[in-house]
Amino acid sequence: MTETPYSTHVAGSASGSTDTTQRQAWIIVLIAALVGLGLAIVWSFEVADHVLGANIANTIVGADAKELVLDSSSLLSGVIFSIAAGLAATFTACNCVVFSCIAPLTAGKSTMSLWRTLGWMTLGILLITGSYGIIGTLLGEKLPILNNATLPIGKGYPIRLAQSSFIFVGLGVIFVWWGLHTLQILPNPLAKLFARNPWFKPFGLGLLIGCFTIGRPFGLFRKAFSNAIVAGDPFFGGLAIALQGLSNILIMVLVLLGLIYATGGRFERWLSANPSRITRFTAISVIVGGIFFIAYWGLRVPSYYEIGWFPHMSYR
């Protein structure tokens, strides 16, 4: 999480006033928030899940993934399906945020430092998703995301969506705070921790990315989880969900590495050449993502069940 002081770079000169700097920072916040709200209005989960996601999963497993009958006794089939489910959820708003968060953390680093950063992030993802898989396998249908029960709110809010709303709204608040801190609008209570332990930044990002798996109600995710429960092996459940979580961001990481290596490092040099560029890049992306999470999962999804109101586009 970048510590670049926004005020040092954005004001443009030593004579630039604090008021001007703060005004510029709030303009960035306003623009990013409007983009996040707009994305929450126009986002189509049908296209992301049922068109892009389904086609990717069907191609990998060589059949209709949604209708595929899994052999719970086969570790290999469960692993392949988990990877397919993770890759199928690649093209979501969540992963766009992931890409824009990883890029600044890797800017200006040597090859060894780059891989070390990705390693710490991977460890964070594995810790969350692996633990979630083990606990979920033990709980079975008691886990909200696998439960078909509804809450007595509105038209009956599915408890699995309540879990999603809780997780993603919480993540949204964290991402908005991250953006405001990056712009020096809010203090960072973790500044000393990050200064003493630089590895904790990518590790912490990995923990947040791992929570995406906890929040997503994606049908193929639930199917992979259910298969692990039928198998009755918590460690298989942990492996399956961990692979699912890693596969979910694999393409975004490969795109980033492609930009770094295919351009001969030009993308990385461009990003790190101007500290204020990294600041703006990080702040805008995490605020857009945070506002999207809050608006989409906290307002739009509940509105489908007559809990409040939120505008959205209708697609055929």
Q: What are the residue ranges spanned by the domains of the chain?
A: 19-303
Predicted confidence at residue 83, as pLDDT, reads 83
Rounded Cα–Cα distance for residues 81 and 60 (Å): 8
Please, which pLDDT band fits residue 107 given cuts at 50, 70 and 90? low
Please, which pLDDT band fits residue 269 given cuts at 50, 70 and 90? confident
Predicted confidence at residue 135, as pLDDT, reads 92
C-alpha triplet 279, 119, 132: angle, nearest 5°: 100
Region 214-231 average pLDDT: 79
Q: Give the pLDDT confidence of 272-312 residue by residue, as tens digits.
A: 777 788 888 889 989 999 999 999 999 999 999 999 999 87
Please, which pLDDT band fits residue 9 given cuts at 50, 70 and 90? very low
Residue 93 has pLDDT above 60, yes or no: yes
Q: Specify the range with the lowest mean pLDDT, choosing from 26-35, 94-103, 145-154, 170-179.
A: 94-103
Quote the strand ranges of the chain, DSSP E: 150-151, 157-158
Please, which pLDDT band fits residue 109 given cuts at 50, 70 and 90? low
pTM of the model: 0.85
Neighbours of 111 (CB within 10 A): 10
Please spell the DSSP secondary structure of 200-228, one letter per residue.
HHHHHHHHHHHHHHHH---HHHHHHHHHH
Please, which pLDDT band fits residue 71 given cuts at 50, 70 and 90? low
Region 67-75 average pLDDT: 66
Please, which pLDDT band fits residue 70 given cuts at 50, 70 and 90? low
C-alpha triplet 288, 293, 295: angle, nearest 5°: 90
Predicted confidence at residue 29, as pLDDT, reads 95
Residue 59 has pLDDT above 60, yes or no: yes
**Chain centroid, CA 23 distance in Å:** 29
Residues in Cβ contact with 184 at an 8 Å cutoff, skipping those fewer than 6 apart? 5, 6, 7, 25
